[in-house]
Amino acid sequence: MFPFRGLLGGQKALVTGASSGIGRAVALALAEAGADVVVNFIGSSEAADEVVSAIQTIGSKAIPILADVSQEAQVQTMFKRAIEEFGTVDILVNNAGIQSNAPVDGMTIGQWNSVIATNLTGQFLCAREAIREFKRRGVVSTVSVSAGKIICISSVHEAIPWAGHVNYAASKGGVMLLMKSIAQEVAALKIRVNSICPGAIRTPMNESAWENREAYNALMPLIPYKRIGEPEEIGRLAAFLASDYADYITGTSVYVDGGMMLYPGFESGG
C-alpha cells in the first residue's frame, strides 16, 4: 500500500518533464497521494498521454501540457492553463532536465546554453510562476497548512564536481542556491522550497550506466549501498516533502543516492 495515500487530497500539482523517468514516477506518486497532476512534457505527446491515463486509473485528474520550460512565454501559458483547468497550483516539481556532455575545451556554447536554459533557467521560470500563484491564493487551511510547495529535482552534482559535464554540474550547483535563496525569501509566506538530489537512478537519462552488467558493475564503486536507485524512490520522497508531514522542512537538499555523497573512495581506508 502506498504510504501517503490521501495525504495530498484536494491539491493540484505541476510536474515538469513528467513523461519519463523521475518526473513520471513523481507524477504517479503525487497522484497516489491524492493530488491532481499537470503532466508537463516536451516533444511527442504519446508518453505524456500514457502517464495521464495511469494517473486517471489511480483515481486522480491529470492533464498533459506541452511546454518548453526554458521559454518564458511557454511557461507562463502553461501555468495559466493549469490554473484555468484546476483552479490553482499547490505543488510544483521542477524536474525537467537534460545533459549534453563534452570535455570543457570541446564544449560548444550551444551545449552550455541549452543545459543552463533547461536545468537552471527553466527551474527559475517555473518557480516564479508558482510563487505568483501561491501568493495570490495564500493558505487554504482545509487543503494544506502551507501556501505552496516547490520541489527542485537537483542532483548529487550540485555538490560533486563532474569532469566532462561542467554545464550540467554548474546548472545543478545553481539550482542549489536558487532553491535556498527562494526558500529564504518566501518562508514567511508559508511557502516551502526544497531539493531532492538523486544519485544514480534507473532512467533513460543515464541508461548507458545500467543497460548492461559491465556498465552496472563499473558504477558500483561509486555507490556504497551497491545498487542503482529506482524512480519510485524519488517519487515517494516528493510526496512526503509536498505533504504537511514535512511542514518544518524548507531550504534543504535531501540526497537519495545510496551513499554516493560519502566519499566512497575512502571505503577501505584513505
Among 42, 51, 130, 242, binds ligand NAD (CB under 6 A): 42
In DSSP terms, which residues pair with 229 in a beta bridge?
A: 201
For residue 194, state whether it binds ligand NAD (rule: CB under 6 A).
no
For the CB of residue 21, give the shortest distance to ligand NAD in the complex, in Å: 2
> What cell numbers appear for 263 in the block?
566519499
Question: How far apart are the C-alpha atoms of 156 and 102, rounded to whole Å?
Answer: 19
Give the residue, chosen from 93, 153, 186, 260, that forms a contact with ligand NAD under the rule CB under 6 A.
153
Residue 55 binding ligand NAD, by CB under 6 A: no
Q: Which of 96, 120, 125, 170 binds ligand NAD (CB under 6 A)?
A: 96
Q: Give CA angle at 32 (246, 260), nearest 5°.
A: 55
Q: Taking a C-beta distance cutoff of 8 angstroms, is the pair 25, 32 a contact? A: no
Q: Applying CB under 6 A, does 262 fall inside the site for ligand NAD?
A: no
User: How big, in percent rounded to 5, are the helix, strand and coil portions of the chain?
Assistant: 50, 15, 35
Q: Does residue 250 touch ligand NAD according to CB under 6 A?
A: no
C-alpha grid cell, residue 232:
519510485
Cell, residue 27: 507524477
The verdict on 235 binding ligand NAD (CB under 6 A) reads no
- 20: contact with ligand NAD by CB under 6 A: yes
Collect all residues with Cβ–Cβ distance below 8 Å to 1 and sequence separation of at least 6.
none
**168 is an active site residue:** yes
Between CA 158 and CA 143 the distance in angstroms is 32
Nearer to ligand NAD, 118 or 144 (CB): 118
Nearer to ligand NAD, 50 or 189 (CB): 50
Give the residue numbers annotated as catalytic, written as ranges. 168
Binding-site ranges for ligand NAD (CB under 6 A): 16-17, 19-23, 40, 42-43, 68-70, 95-98, 118, 122, 153, 155, 198, 200-201, 203-206
